[in-house]
Amino acid sequence: MSLLRLRGFEIHKGYLDLASQRALIEVLRPILRTAPLFSPTAPGGRKLSVRMTSAGKFGWIADETGYRYVENHPKGMGWPAIPDRLLELWHGVTGLQRQPESCLLNYFGPDAKMGLHQDKDEADFSFPVVSVSLGDDGLFRMGDTRRGGKTDSIWLNSGDVVVMGGAARLAYHGVDRIRFQSSRLLPKGGRINLTLRVVT
DNA sequence: AAGTTACA
DNA sequence: AAAC
């Protein structure tokens, strides 16, 4: 376990050991059963390459009308609760008393990526965003608060946790590619990224 | 533009 | 990397 700081991003390499990663996957199973992954469409009609679902009071969705937090899955059901061990992880890594209200689960298959973007659909940017990597390695790119600035990249491995607060809270970031089947955590391969956020 | 394409 |  080591802590790296890059452009204000706090990168906890190896924050979760293998047993903790496996335990997390187990608590995600019932969430995926209750609130299945869906393939969101972005404004303009383009499909996002990740599949997603959420836990918590709010889930983040994209559709033709935009990006926002909503209280129900596209199929109508409410989002499952955020598992306790994720709330504990949030408190452990942020030291905050305030609980996150949303846990977005993004699944990256072999060709999935995520373009550079800012997380700015939340009401209060003084709270950090916490990101947990599980499964295959992902090449994470970090910029600053403007498009077109310089960027730095780092490979995120299963068990890494990134805290985006302070200067990094509104910094552009994205995932250029994954190394499919580089990890054995998910038998069928792929990368799961969990992002915990205070929304309101 | 949470994407796609093209080019060094 | 840059343009759209």
To the nearest whole number, what is the mean pLDDT of chain A? Answer: 96
CA of A43 to C1' of C2 (A): 22
Distance measured from the CA of protein residue A160 to the C1' of nucleotide B8, in angstroms:
33
Does the pLDDT at position A190 exceed 90?
yes
Residue pair A12/A160 in contact (Cβ under 8 Å)? The answer is yes
A149-183 CB burial, b ≥16 within 10 A, e <16: eebeebebbbbbbbbbbeebbebbbbbeebebebb
Residues 6+ apart with CB under 8 A from A46: none
DSSP state of A5: E
> Are A119 and A127 spatial neighbours (Cβ–Cβ below 8 Å)?
no
The single residue listed with the structure tokens 């995926």 is A32
- State, as a whole number of angstroms, the distance between the CA of A83 and the C1' of B6: 44
Query: Which nucleotide is nearest, taking the CA of residue A147 and each C1'?
Result: B1
Q: What is the percent of chain A where pLDDT is above 90?
A: 95
Alpha helices in A66-200 (DSSP H): 84-94
Which strand B bases fall within 7 angstroms of a protein CB? 1-4
Locate the domains of chain A by residue range.
2-197
Footprint of strand B on the protein (CB under 7 A): A 42-44, 46-50, 60, 62, 67, 104, 106, 113-119, 121, 147, 174
Taking 90 as the threshold, does the pLDDT of residue A44 lie above it? no
Residue A150, CA: closest nucleotide via C1'? C1
Tell me the backbone φ, ψ of residue A113, rounded to 5 degrees: -150, 175
Q: Considering all nucleic acid strands, name the nucleotide whose C1' atom is nearest to the C-alpha of residue A152.
A: C1
CA-to-C1' distance for A105 and B2, Å?
13
Pure H helices in A35-156: 84-94
CA–CA gap between residue A63 and residue A40 (Å, rounded): 6
Protein A146 CA to nucleic acid C3 C1', in Å? 16
Nearest C-alpha neighbor of A31 from the set A90, A92, A104, A88 = A104
Bridge-based pairing of strands A59-63 and A66-70 is antiparallel
Reported as a single tens digit per residue, the pLDDT across A115-140 is: 999 999 999 999 999 999 999 999 99
- Summarised one tens digit per residue, pLDDT across range A135-183 is 999 999 999 999 888 899 999 999 999 999 999 999 999 999 999 999 9
Assigned fold of A2-197: Jelly Rolls (2.60.120)
Burial class (CB in 10 A: 0-12, 13-18, 19+), A13: middle
Q: How far does the CA of A67 sit from the C1' of C4, in Å?
A: 21
